[in-house]
Chain A
Amino acid sequence: MGAVSAAFGLIADLNVLGVILGSAVFGILVGAIPGLTATMATALLVPVTFFMPPVPALAAIVTATAMAIFAGDIPSTLLRMPGTPASAAYTDEAFAMTRKGEAELALGVNVVYSALGGLFGTLVLMLAAPALADLALGFSSFEYFWLACLGLTCGVFIASLTPLKAMVSLLFGLLVSTVGFDAIAGFPRFTFGVTEMMQGVSFIPAMIGLFAVSEVLRGMAAPEGPASAPQRRIGNVLRGLGPIMARYWPNMLRGNAIGTLIGALPGAGADIAAWVSYAVSKRFSREPEKFGTGHVEGVIDATSANNAALGGAWIPALVFGIPGDSITAIVIGVLYMKGMNPGPTVFVQNPQLIYAVFLAFIVANLLMVPLGLVAIRGATWILRVPRRVLLPIILLFCIVGSFAITSSAYGIVIMLAAGVVGWIMEENGIPVAPAILGLVLGELLEQTFMTSMIKAQGDLLAFFDRPLSVVLGTLTVLVWAGAIVRAVLKLVRARGAGHA
């Protein structure tokens, strides 16, 4: 118990608490600005934390990322622009709630379930870290391949109203993900002789383009259209939450569990956790037809999952030095910088530091509700600004955010191209979300697929050799077979109706 009280002493320090508060405000601002992500907040904090002792440095990252993941929901709900990729899965749903006049409820759900999700993830991180990390460590490229496949499958589910067009979008995203050096031979593909393309298409500018620039373009065509400021002001966001919490607590727990688990799996973070939870929520809902029309159920699952994923991602990072997501990839670098080399030994040598990180998680998530309420109040000025003023400002934020990722005009070019492509896709009823998922998971999918193929020497049955890969693989194949059968049936039925 000595380590726990030592950890309390480390956190209950005015300087540390000040750093936590400052990072919280910073995290909320970065998260609420579309195009600036929790990962970027972390990357920007690292030079600052370099001058701090380990505990405030790690507490700053923990707090800023937790706040950013929640704050990403604010522009997502009010403007249909995900503040961070982790909100992208349920942006359409939350914005549909705003259109129905339920912005308060959506924001209330976001802040409360985000905090609860964060606490759940922390609890699992504290209790079950070694066991879960063991499981993830046992995975081979076959399991990773199937896992990426399942993630992509979920992407098509989200847009299952038009599975064929969703598949086109997904495949297009996968194709774009193959730009740059390939994982096996290191051969630069589809770079058109541009040096910067060798690193691949930068994901964050692409996301800004697909989600934000396309929205600005649509808005420019009708600057005072019906989409502008559907609600004049945000009332009490906590009203009406009681019945929601009583009715949907299983969704919350399911989102928490899925989020923590996906966060703990290397390579998949808060964004994928939200996609998967939303898809699972829709699949098992008693009212799946309401999804997409501004139904709160899927939002609860997904917003519970993405904050839970943050805690989960630290499990393999702390225990084995394997990043659970892009944020913890940076964290591992910070741990080495601070002489806290991640691995089982850090639990023996510096347990008080590990407990202090856990405490920072708890403090950050408790702070989230009051600070989140203030942020929601402050964010409503966005709705009062006329769109003819707001749209150019958002476009500038998009430009600067894309520039910040690459520190060059390359990011802006990617953003522009993705914006035009996304706009054309949406004009033609092709959903953009699966393309983003394909772009995110493409590299992992190709790498694990190629590694597995080379290991198996072309024997496709090897993909089903291991017990875990059998489960994941069979699940994926069944889901896809079902989707194809449904698409064919729909085509046949459409044809029958046409002749009748």
Chain B
Amino acid sequence: MRVNDAVLGALLLALMAAVFSATAAFPRIPGQPYGPDLFPRLVAAGLGLAGLLMILRGLLARPRPPIVRLAPWARSARSAGAIALALVGIVFYILAADTLGFVVTAFVLLAALMLYLRTRVLTALLVSAATTLIVEYTFASLMRIPLPRGLLVVFA
């Protein structure tokens, strides 16, 4: 989805305004003219300036681009669904991993994505199971990364 440069520029100006208002309440260091707000404000001012230039660019461009130009994926329900499923999958992992444990969550995530992308069912299930176990072994056992155990804690 390609948005007109002028719209992006307006968003940058809004971001600058947000930074300036958020930094207004920052404390000052006694006796110092420069506080924790100086650097973010300088950067935000730069973003605002760039935003103005983007607005100019968007308005001056000929032929004038539309406000929003849809990318190919947005016209295909299947492609848009795949992107949405990947994002939902990550959120699912964040929310469920502690309860279900790494093994169950990772397997569900992998299998769901592979099946949506039309992998053969048997392949999807086997590859998901193998990948999950290999990752669990290398990361949890070899690298000592505390992957959540969840339901499997009873076997520990």
Q: A residues touching B (Cβ–Cβ < 8 Å)?
A: 44, 47, 164, 167-168, 171-172, 174-175, 178, 182, 184-185, 187, 189-190, 213, 216-217, 220-223, 386, 388-389, 391-393, 395-397, 399-400, 403-404, 407, 409, 412-413, 415-416, 419-420, 424, 427-430, 446, 449-450, 453-454, 457-458, 487, 491, 494-495, 497-499
Chain B positions within 8 Å of A391 at CB level: 113, 117
Q: Given A189-B36, A449-B39, A450-B38, verify A389-B127 contact (CB < 8 Å).
A: yes
Q: Does the CB pair A396–B36 fall under 8 Å?
A: no
Q: Given A171-B46, A189-B36, verify A397-B135 contact (CB < 8 Å).
A: yes
Report A446 CB to chain B, min CB distance, Å.
4
Q: Given A182-B36, A388-B117, A412-B94, verify A168-B47 contact (CB < 8 Å).
A: yes
The residue from A47, A187, A409 contacting B36, defined by CB atoms under 8 A apart? A187
Q: Does the CB pair B19–A175 fall under 8 Å?
A: yes
Q: Does the CB pair B106–A396 fall under 8 Å?
A: yes
A190 vs B2: C-alpha distance when bound (angstroms): 28
Among residues of A, the one whose C-beta sits closest to the C-beta of B15 is A175
Report B55 CB to chain A, min CB distance, Å.
11
A449 vs B117: C-alpha distance when bound (angstroms): 50
A221 vs B102: C-alpha distance when bound (angstroms): 26
Q: Given A184-B36, A187-B26, A389-B127, verify A167-B50 contact (CB < 8 Å).
A: yes
Q: Does the CB pair B47–A458 fall under 8 Å?
A: no
CB contact list, B119-156 vs A, under 8 A: 119, 123-124, 127-128, 131-132, 135, 139, 143-147
Report A151 CB to chain B, min CB distance, Å.
16
Q: Does the CB pair B119–A389 fall under 8 Å?
A: yes
Q: Does the CB pair B43–A220 fall under 8 Å?
A: no
Known contacts A393-B110, A458-B33; 10 further A-B pairs (Cβ under 8 A): A172-B47, A184-B35, A190-B22, A221-B83, A389-B119, A389-B123, A395-B113, A400-B135, A429-B2, A487-B53
A420 vs B3: C-alpha distance when bound (angstroms): 15
The residue from B29, B34, B62, B86 contacting A216, defined by CB atoms under 8 A apart? B86
A497 vs B19: C-alpha distance when bound (angstroms): 36
A427 vs B83: C-alpha distance when bound (angstroms): 13
Chain B positions within 8 Å of A499 at CB level: 62
Chain B interface size range:
35 or more
A122 vs B2: C-alpha distance when bound (angstroms): 47
Q: Does the CB pair B117–A393 fall under 8 Å?
A: no
The residue from A189, A386, A416, A430 contacting B90, defined by CB atoms under 8 A apart? A416
Q: Does the CB pair A399–B139 fall under 8 Å?
A: no
Report B79 CB to chain A, min CB distance, Å.
4
Chain A positions within 8 Å of B29 at CB level: 184-185
Q: Does the CB pair B131–A396 fall under 8 Å?
A: yes
Report B120 CB to chain A, min CB distance, Å.
10
17 contacts between A and B (CB under 8 A): A175-B43, A182-B39, A184-B32, A184-B34, A220-B85, A223-B117, A396-B131, A396-B132, A397-B135, A416-B90, A424-B1, A430-B8, A446-B39, A454-B32, A491-B57, A491-B60, A495-B60
Chain B positions within 8 Å of A420 at CB level: 87
**Interface SS, B side:** helix
Chain B positions within 8 Å of A430 at CB level: 8
Q: B residues touching A (Cβ–Cβ < 8 Å)?
A: 1-3, 8, 12, 15, 19, 22-23, 26-27, 29, 32-36, 38-40, 43-44, 46-47, 50-51, 53-54, 56-57, 60-62, 71-73, 76, 79-80, 82-83, 85-87, 89-91, 93-94, 97-98, 106, 109-110, 113-114, 117-119, 123-124, 127-128, 131-132, 135, 139, 143-147
A457 vs B2: C-alpha distance when bound (angstroms): 45
Chain B positions within 8 Å of A427 at CB level: 1-2, 71
Q: Does the CB pair B56–A491 fall under 8 Å?
A: yes
A395 vs B35: C-alpha distance when bound (angstroms): 41
Among residues of A, the one whose C-beta sits closest to the C-beta of B113 is A392
Among residues of A, the one whose C-beta sits closest to the C-beta of B123 is A389
A220 vs B72: C-alpha distance when bound (angstroms): 13
Report A81 CB to chain B, min CB distance, Å.
15
A494 vs B53: C-alpha distance when bound (angstroms): 13
Q: Does the CB pair A175–B47 fall under 8 Å?
A: yes
Chain A positions within 8 Å of B90 at CB level: 213, 395, 399, 412, 415-416, 419
A28 vs B23: C-alpha distance when bound (angstroms): 44
A395 vs B108: C-alpha distance when bound (angstroms): 13
Chain B CB within 10 Å, residue with most, of A171, A393, A424, A499: A171
Chain A positions within 8 Å of B8 at CB level: 168, 428, 430
Among residues of A, the one whose C-beta sits closest to the C-beta of B3 is A428
Q: Given A221-B82, A392-B109, verify A185-B27 contact (CB < 8 Å).
A: yes
Chain A positions within 8 Å of B79 at CB level: 220-222
The residue from A222, A416, A424, A453 contacting B34, defined by CB atoms under 8 A apart? A453
Chain A CB within 10 Å, residue with most, of B44, B56, B76, B87: B87
Q: Does the CB pair A416–B39 fall under 8 Å?
A: no
Report B109 CB to chain A, min CB distance, Å.
7
Report B152 CB to chain A, min CB distance, Å.
16
Among residues of B, the one whose C-beta sits closest to the C-beta of A490 is B57
Chain A positions within 8 Å of B53 at CB level: 164, 487, 491
Report B1 CB to chain A, min CB distance, Å.
6
Q: Does the CB pair B82–A223 fall under 8 Å?
A: yes
The residue from B27, B87, B93, B123 contacting A187, defined by CB atoms under 8 A apart? B27
